[in-house]
Amino acid sequence: MQDPFKIVIQDFEFYYGSVMALRDLNLSIRPHQIFAVLGPARSGKTTLLKSLNRLTDLLHGTNHKGQIFIDGREIYGEEVSLPELRRRVGMVFDLPTALPLSIYENVAYGPRLKGMREKSRLDEIVATSLQAAVLWDEVKDRLPSSALRLSGGQQQRLCIARMLALEPEIIMLDEPCSGLDPISTASIEKSLMTLKEKYTILLVPHNIQQASRVADRVGFFLGGEMIEEGSADQIFTRPQNKKTEDYISGRFG
């Protein structure tokens, strides 16, 4: 029987040293959806994302309990290849992080790491990814120029293209529109709606409004715990938990 869930998180806890960042997390996410990770600062949202592709491994002194399954396989298992996991679970950070390379080389970076060398194939992947990130028209004539010269919004879309070049299965975006103008924000949100047809998307939204615009399901996090989880419609109109309701209605943030 096909597992209906793409990601299954069971009894997951995460510690930075002795500080607990996530606790008692039980969550299942279906494929081809946008799941919004909602909550105020310091709720564990980024930790959740970085646990899914084990970028948390880069830090020292971290610990976890519980399990995370992607397509039925435990990602903290013995045989797991980190590079492969990170190619399957792509991430875009909250600040535009273009590498000091040309636009072309930024997007080609991931495929090159994988070992791809044929120029024609790389050209194709770069073009496709930039199109999917709605950046192609703006940069197609200046692919060799430095990526650092792009505007914030363009750089952020470049980061999305860079991630898509690896053809991941899961896409995670951590406040991808923070610091961007409304037009860039709108174009990124628009591309998310198209992307969810191919990918499973986790999004830490910049604010509640963004979540209500794009999310299919929402999880509300507070202080490292997931307080409530449900469809976007249900969370925003009929929240079950008082804390959720308070947050949604802006009583704290």
Residues in contact with other proteins by the rule CB under 8 A:
53, 55, 58, 60, 82-84, 86-87, 90-91, 93, 95, 97, 99-100, 109-110, 113-114, 159, 162-163, 166
Q: For the CB of residue 42, give the shortest distance to other proteins in the complex, in Å.
A: 20
Q: Which pair of structure tokens corresponds to residue 23?
A: 């606790």
The answer to whether the beta carbons of residues 163 and 107 sit under 8 Å apart is: no
Q: For the CB of residue 4, give the shortest distance to other proteins in the complex, in Å.
A: 27
Q: For the CB of residue 208, give the shortest distance to other proteins in the complex, in Å.
A: 27
The answer to whether the beta carbons of residues 141 and 194 sit under 8 Å apart is: no
DSSP 110-139: HHHHHT---HHHHHHHHHHHHHHTT-HHHH
What is the Cα–Cα distance from 139 to 122, expressed in whole angstroms? 16
3-state secondary structure of 14: strand
Q: For the CB of residue 200, give the shortest distance to other proteins in the complex, in Å.
A: 17
Task: Give 109 or 136: the residue with its C-beta nearer to other proteins.
Answer: 109
Task: Give 195 or 235: the residue with its C-beta nearer to other proteins.
Answer: 195
Task: Give 204 or 222: the residue with its C-beta nearer to other proteins.
Answer: 204
Task: Give 129 or 212: the residue with its C-beta nearer to other proteins.
Answer: 129
The answer to whether the beta carbons of residues 107 and 130 sit under 8 Å apart is: yes
Q: For the CB of residue 100, give the shortest distance to other proteins in the complex, in Å.
A: 6
Q: At 74, which amino acid appears?
A: E
Task: Give 60 or 238: the residue with its C-beta nearer to other proteins.
Answer: 60
